[in-house]
């Protein structure tokens, strides 16, 4: 008997962890995905922090030799890239994932499996980037990747290739998540939660997701150009071939400045939740705070070139971007005023979360003031590439983003874990972090003002920089101690922290209405919303009992359907990661990864046809989730193709060798292929109509006809490409060849995806799996197909019809 029990215990010990791990790998629960994002981001944050401490050690004393110049370049490149893309953004994503569905009264996000896919793609991109250390080729051209430092001539190793491929993978993750959260917030709010009743954190999340889906396409195009230059010998950043190095700067900063608000607006949303809770007052002027957040997002797209005042754009451009930069300070100042007004006269409860929220107000204001200085081109020219700029953006990103994220961590930790953090240790951590942060970065204003350049790995004695560099290094290590205190506090809380009630802070929003941590289904019954801060109103008698009667718990026998776990997201991400890594190894590995990814995507897309749990889940979704998601995705695609077309127009006529468009483009043949593609849109309309009326025979014909017309168009394109090659025009010939083949090639790739999609629907129809109730699937495919046709009309006009 004892032997049998021992065997059972051994079996239990071996199999249970595997089961737990597998449940996390296959999870599509937004709460678990949020925890995965948070844990992964904290790991990468520690890595980025270690890189920063080594940088500060090297600069603590003159002529130090802690690391070489090459290693220093790699450290500041990886530090910047890691903190922006692998730490602060996914820290925010952790709160988006966990809290947004709870705050809007939803059971999950709109697309749970896409949500899981975005995390695993993010992890694949982060691992690929840091694998560069193992390969001995960490990126070393700067986190901004300025051309022509990133060309093969000046960076011949794999270092920049790691950077480019990783950022492309990470961008894919961000756009997928952005589409998902926009649809979730627009479509899945609880009854009565109008847009102006949404919590401020949800509003800032919505603005951030629009920034993501609109800002990432330009940097994606810039990275694609760089990848083609390095892998295929194109000339996008080749000055000798007529290229312009400013193209990269524009594409990078068109993304880079909205990225500043992608990093800071989540922290603004957190502060706007924390302050009212611990001041026991509604947020002062909440609608104005909402409008100011939207304005910040809108203006963020119009000020990117203030990063380029030193690039010689001319007085008109400098003036326009200087005025825009000054204007964007207004909505930011409005937020600060409203936060202070919320605190004024409130019944303050000085929790750690409130400490960090108030700390953000002070430190971000300092960073904002130094940022306003850069709105003046003469001042900016003096401060550019000095440590003054380093001080500025660390005051914004640490004093702003990180302080806000710590406030959110202390505020929502009980909800996420069911346990409280130690408030005494938390306040110690705040003061260590607050003092250390200012000791580390405030002296850098002075260092920059007296002429210390950025990105130098050593300096001679007698420059007047010794003292303040040493002080800054001491502050950086103290800041690391503050982060360590948080890790200790979190560990103690998870092991033996006090149990948290459902509403430990007397909260105002819906996430505090459910248990801590929430059940898998979030709410027993979807709550009704009767105004802003509806939970606060219910608790304190601001809503009549008759109005709250509709928010009773569900009946015990009512079954809540939740999305089923799936392993296809992780396999899809693995295929993408293998393909990206294969670009650094061998083409066979790229093919292998692509095959894995394509097979997983098909299984992912068709999973609900085989798994009854997914069938029921899809039946519970609002039918317009997929349509809204497609519209948002197509908006992102507009920016993608718009950037490609704008680049073609900017480079038109600048080729220094080889054939020109007038000598080589065959307008009659392309006109025929254009007519063919336009007619395919008509067939797509007929296919949708047939499916909607249940005419399966007609649906098959029109679906196949649409796909067949798409194949004809691709045949015309292949013929045109082949004839151009025979006439001496290739990707490598000149700027025209580079821009033409990349633009039309990516459009052809989109047509190919559409053809495969249509043939898949046709096959489902042949098997009797595409009924009248599945018309939404054909409608979504139709939206994509019509978009591809419209894009070709623009491309055809620009490339073939305009002289």
Active site residue 205: no
Active site residue: 197, 250, 306, 625, which one? 306
Active site residue: 29, 51, 108, 244, which one? 108
Burial of residue 533, with CB atoms counted within 10 A of its CB: 0-12 exposed, 13-18 middle, 19 or more buried = buried
Active site residue: 272, 351, 514, 673, which one? 272
Tokens of 199: 């919590």
Q: Which residue matches tokens 């847009």?
A: 195
Residue 96 half-sphere exposure toward CB, CA atoms < 13 A: 32
Tokens of 287: 């609608």
Say how far apart CA 773 and CA 793 lie, in whole Å: 32
Strand partners, 419: 499
Active site residue: 113, 281, 307, 419, which one? 307
Tell whether omega for the bond before 671 is within 30 degrees of 0, i.e. cis. Answer: no
Per the CB < 8 A criterion, the answer to whether 296 and 321 are in contact is no
Active site residue: 32, 230, 335, 415, which one? 335
Instruction: Report residue 453: phi and psi, to 5°.
Output: -75, 155
Helix, strand, coil shares of the chain as percentages rounded to 5?
75, 0, 25
Active site residue: 143, 413, 568, 762, which one? 143
Active site residue 339: no
Say how far apart CA 428 and CA 235 lie, in whole Å: 55
Tokens of 81: 């890239």
Per the CB < 8 A criterion, the answer to whether 553 and 528 are in contact is no
Active site residue 307: yes
Cα dist from 154 to 38, 139, 150, 202, 425, whole Å? 37, 13, 6, 45, 49
Count helices and strands (H / E) in the chain: 27, 0
Burial of residue 657, with CB atoms counted within 10 A of its CB: 0-12 exposed, 13-18 middle, 19 or more buried = exposed
Active site residue 544: no
Instruction: Report residue 386: phi and psi, to 5°.
Output: -115, 170
Active site residue: 81, 155, 159, 332, which one? 332
Length of the chain, in residues: 803
Cβ neighbours of residue 169 closer than 8 Å, sequence gap 6 or more = 121, 124, 125, 128, 576, 577, 580
Tell whether omega for the bond before 148 is within 30 degrees of 0, i.e. cis. Answer: yes
Strand partners, 386: 453
Active site residue 31: no
**Three-state helix/strand/coil letters over 407-421:** HHHHHHHHHHHCECC
Say how far apart CA 761 and CA 452 lie, in whole Å: 62
Active site residue 9: no
Active site residue 92: no
Per the CB < 8 A criterion, the answer to whether 86 and 48 are in contact is yes
User: Alpha helix locations (H) across 611-695?
Assistant: 612-620, 625-651, 661-664, 667-692
Active site residue: 51, 238, 244, 259, which one? 259
Active site residue 355: no
Active site residue: 174, 234, 514, 534, which one? 174
CA 121-92-567 angle, 5° bins: 30
Cβ neighbours of residue 49 closer than 8 Å, sequence gap 6 or more = 480, 483
Active site residue 445: no
Active site residue: 163, 237, 248, 261, which one? 261
CA 261-267-270 angle, 5° bins: 140
Active site residue 173: yes
Active site residue 259: yes
Active site residue: 82, 173, 277, 516, which one? 173
Active site residue: 454, 492, 627, 654, which one? 454
Active site residue 720: no
Tokens of 404: 């806000």
Instruction: Report residue 419: phi and psi, to 5°.
Output: -130, 155
What contacts 24+ positions apart, CB below 8 Å, involve 727-731? 727/659, 727/664, 728/658, 728/659, 729/658, 729/659, 729/664, 731/228, 731/232, 731/233, 731/234
Strand partners, 453: 386
Residue 81, SS3 per DSSP: helix
Active site residue: 230, 257, 415, 750, which one? 257
Cβ neighbours of residue 45 closer than 8 Å, sequence gap 6 or more = 82, 83, 86, 87, 91, 483
Catalytic residue numbers?
A: 79, 108, 143, 173-174, 257, 259, 261, 272, 306-307, 332, 335, 454
């Amino acid at each position: 008997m004892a032997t049998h029990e021992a065997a059972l215990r051994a079996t239990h010990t071996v199999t249970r962890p595997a089961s737990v791990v597998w449940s996390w790998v296959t999870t599509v629960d937004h709460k678990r995905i949020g925890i995965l994002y948070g844990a992964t981001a904290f790991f990468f944050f520690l890595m980025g922090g270690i890189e920063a401490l080594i940088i500060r050690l090297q600069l603590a004393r003159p002529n130090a030799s802690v690391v070489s110049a090459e290693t220093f370049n790699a450290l500041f490149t990886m530090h910047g890239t890691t903190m922006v893309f692998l730490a602060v953004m996914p820290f925010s994503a952790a709160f988006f994932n966990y809290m947004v569905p709870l705050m809007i009264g939803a059971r999950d996000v709109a697309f749970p499996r896409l949500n899981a896919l975005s995390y695993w793609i993010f992890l694949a991109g982060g691992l690929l980037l840091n694998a560069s250390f193992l390969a001995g080729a960490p990126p070393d051209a700067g986190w901004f990747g300025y051309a022509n430092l990133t060309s093969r001539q000046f960076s011949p190793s794999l270092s920049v290739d790691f950077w480019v491929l990783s950022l492309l993978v990470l961008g894919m993750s961000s756009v997928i998540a952005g589409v998902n959260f926009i649809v979730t917030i627009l479509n899945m709010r609880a009854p009565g939660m109008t847009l102006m009743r949404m919590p401020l954190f949800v509003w800032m999340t919505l603005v951030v997701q629009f920034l993501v889906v609109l800002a990432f396409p330009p940097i994606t195009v810039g990275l694609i150009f760089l990848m083609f230059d390095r892998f295929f010998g194109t000339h996008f950043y080749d000055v000798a071939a007529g290229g312009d190095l400013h193209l990269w700067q524009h594409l990078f900063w068109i993304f880079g400045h909205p990225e500043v608000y992608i990093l800071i607006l989540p922290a603004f949303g957190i502060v706007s939740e924390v302050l009212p809770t611990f001041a026991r007052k509604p947020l002062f002027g909440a609608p104005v705070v909402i409008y100011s957040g939207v304005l910040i997002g809108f203006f963020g797209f119009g000020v990117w070139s203030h990063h380029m005042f030193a690039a010689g754009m001319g007085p008109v451009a400098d003036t326009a971007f200087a005025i825009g930069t000054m204007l964007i300070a207004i909505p930011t100042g409005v937020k600060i005023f409203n936060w202070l007004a919320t605190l004024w006269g409130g019944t303050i409860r000085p929790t750690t979360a409130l400490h960090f929220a108030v700390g953000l107000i002070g430190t971000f204001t300092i960073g904002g003031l130094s940022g306003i200085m850069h709105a003046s081109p003469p001042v900016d020219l003096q401060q550019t590439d000095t440590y003054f700029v380093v001080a500025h953006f660390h005051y914004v990103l640490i004093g702003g983003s990180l302080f806000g994220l710590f406030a959110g961590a202390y505020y929502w930790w009980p909800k996420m874990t069911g346990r409280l953090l130690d408030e005494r240790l938390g306040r110690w951590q705040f003061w260590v972090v607050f003092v250390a942060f200012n000791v580390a970065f405030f002296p850098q204003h002075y260092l920059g003002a007296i002429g210390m350049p950025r990105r130098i790995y050593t300096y001679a004695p007698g420059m007047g920089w010794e003292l303040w560099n040493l002080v800054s290094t001491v502050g950086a290590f103290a800041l690391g101690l503050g982060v360590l205190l948080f890790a200790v506090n979190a560990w103690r809380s998870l092991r033996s922290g006090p149990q948290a009630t459902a509403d430990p802070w007397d909260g105002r929003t819906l996430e505090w209405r459910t248990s801590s941590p929430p059940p898998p289904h979030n709410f027993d019954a979807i709550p009704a919303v009767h105004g802003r801060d509806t939970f606060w109103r219910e608790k304190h008698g601001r809503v009549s009992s008759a109005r709250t009667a509709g928010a009773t718990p569900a009946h015990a026998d009512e079954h809540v359907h939740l999305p089923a776990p799936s392993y296809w997201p992780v396999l899809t991400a693995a295929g993408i990661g293998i393909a990206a890594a294969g670009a650094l190894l061998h083409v066979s590995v790229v093919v292998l990864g692509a095959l894995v990814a394509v097979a997983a995507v098909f299984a992912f897309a068709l999973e609900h046809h085989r798994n009854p749990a997914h069938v029921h889940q899809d039946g519970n979704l609002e039918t317009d989730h997929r349509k809204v998601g497609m519209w948002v995705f197509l908006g992102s695609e507009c920016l993608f193709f718009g950037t490609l077309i704008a680049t073609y127009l900017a480079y038109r006529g600048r080729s220094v060798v080889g054939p020109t468009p007038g000598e080589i483009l065959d307008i009659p043949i392309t006109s025929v292929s254009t007519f063919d593609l336009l007619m395919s849109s008509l067939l797509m309309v007929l296919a949708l109509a047939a499916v909607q009326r249940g005419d399966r025979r007609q649906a098959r014909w029109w679906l196949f006809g649409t796909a067949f017309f798409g194949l004809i168009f691709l045949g015309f394109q292949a013929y045109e490409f082949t004839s151009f090659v025979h006439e001496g025009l290739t990707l490598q010939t000149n700027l025209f060849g580079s821009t033409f083949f990349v633009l039309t090639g990516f459009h052809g790739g989109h047509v190919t995806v559409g053809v495969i999609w249509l043939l898949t629907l046709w096959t489902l129809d042949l098997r009797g799996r595409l009924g009248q109730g599945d018309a939404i699937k054909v409608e979504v495919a139709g939206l994509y197909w019509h978009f591809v046709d419209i894009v070709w009309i623009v491309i055809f006009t620009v490339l073939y019809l305009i002289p």
